[in-house]
Structure 1
Amino acid sequence: MSGIEGDGGAAQGENRDSSFRKRVGFIATCALGGSLVALYAVTGPFIAPALRKICLPFVPATNTQVKNVLSVLQSRSGTLVDIGSGDGRIVIAAARKGFRSVGFELNPWLVWYSRYRAWRQGVHRHTSFYISDLWKVSFSQYSNVIIFGVPQMMEQLEAKLQMELQSSARVVACRFPFPTWTPDHVTGEGIDTVWVYDAKTFKSHASMAKLLNNSGDKNHL
Structure 2
Amino acid sequence: MAAPLEKSRENAISPAACETCAQISSASLEASETKPTSKSEKVILGIFAAAFVTFYAITGPFITPGLRRICLPFVPATPKQIQNVMSLLRGRRGTLLDIGSGDGRIVLEAAKHGFQAYGVELNLWLVLFSRFQAKRLGLSSSAKFFRKDLWKTDMSPYENVIAFGTEQMMGKLEGKLQSGLKPGSCVVACRFPFPNWPPVKTEGEGVDQAWLYKQEKLDDLGNKQHH
Question: What TM-score do you get using the length of structure 1 for normalisation?
Answer: 0.82
Q: 1:146-157, aligned counterparts within 5 Å?
A: 146-157=162-173
Pick from 81, 85, 97 the counterpart of residue 65 of structure 1: 81
State the distance in 1 between where 2:203 and 2:122 align: 28
User: 1:168 — aligned with what?
Assistant: 184
Q: Deviations over 1:49-108 (max 9, x none)?
A: 123321111111110000010111111000000011011000000011111111111111
State the distance in 2 between where 1:150 and 1:128 align: 24
User: 1:78 — aligned with what?
Assistant: 94
5+ residue gaps, structure 1: 1-20, 213-221
- Percentage identity across aligned positions? 49
Pick from 113, 117, 129 the counterpart of residue 97 of structure 1: 113
More helix by share: 1
Pick from 199, 204, 223 the counterpart of residue 188 of structure 1: 204
Higher gyration radius (CA) = 1
Pair 1:179 & 2:177 matched: no
Q: Kindly provide the amino acid, as one letter, of the partner of residue 67 in structure 1.
A: Q
Q: 1:208-219, aligned counterparts within 5 Å?
A: 208-210=224-226, 212=227
State the distance in 2 between where 1:69 and 1:51 align: 23
Contact in 2 for aligned 1:167/1:203 (Cα 8 Å): no
5+ residue gaps, structure 2: 1-37
State the distance in 2 between where 1:134 and 1:113 align: 19
**1:109 offset after TM fit, Å?**
1.1
State the distance in 2 between where 1:107 and 1:176 align: 22
Pair 1:54 & 2:70 matched: yes
* Larger relative contact order, structure 1 or 2 (CA cutoff 8 Å, min sep 6): 2
3-state SS, counterpart of residue 111 of structure 1: helix
Contact in 2 for aligned 1:171/1:197 (Cα 8 Å): yes
3-state SS, counterpart of residue 85 of structure 1: coil
User: 2:137 — aligned with what?
Assistant: 121
Q: Deviations over 1:148-190 (max 9, x none)?
A: 1111111111111110112210000001110111000011111
